[in-house]
Amino acid sequence: MLKCPYHGCKFKSKTLMRLIRHVRVRHPLNGKCPACGREFKEVMCHIAHEVRDNADEDHAVYYGLYSKSKGGSQSKVLSWARDVAMSVLEVDDGFVEFGRVRCRRDERV
Ligand SMILES: [Zn+2]
Ligand SMILES: [Zn+2]
């Protein structure tokens, strides 16, 4: 399961697409960056900048959830950001995922 990254929100979803729909409806970007709390006129530009230039994982989570870019040079960044979002927001106990490394259930300690 993937959990909503917003503090105090109990929403969980099996799929990233559903979580993306949830955050866009329930938590629209309102001029404040959800990752670092700073205020910007164009929050999405700031988030995209942090992701593209600094590969910042906190911002990548939100980039993966809010970015509407399709194809082109953005798609590589976006799919990385979505991988980050999925590994950061994964809450299914019994199954752990760190980036591209998957730990099998039977390897649990
Ligand atoms: Zn939420
Ligand atoms: Zn920020």
Instruction: Give the model confidence (pLDDT) of 45-95 as tens digits.
Output: 999 999 999 999 999 999 999 998 766 667 899 999 999 999 999 986 555
CA 103–ligand 2 middle distance (angstroms): 31
CA 108–ligand 2 middle distance (angstroms): 35
CA 89–ligand 1 middle distance (angstroms): 12
For residue 109, pLDDT beyond 60: no
Q: pLDDT of 8-56, one tens digit each?
A: 999 999 999 999 999 999 999 999 999 999 999 999 999 999 999 999 9
Domain ranges of the chain: 2-107
Nearest one of 78, 76, 84, 81 to 100, comparing CA atoms? 84
Degrees (nearest 5) of the Cα angle 86, 102, 80? Answer: 40
Neighbours of ion ligand 1 (CB under 5 A): 4, 6, 9, 11, 26
User: Model-level pTM?
Assistant: 0.80
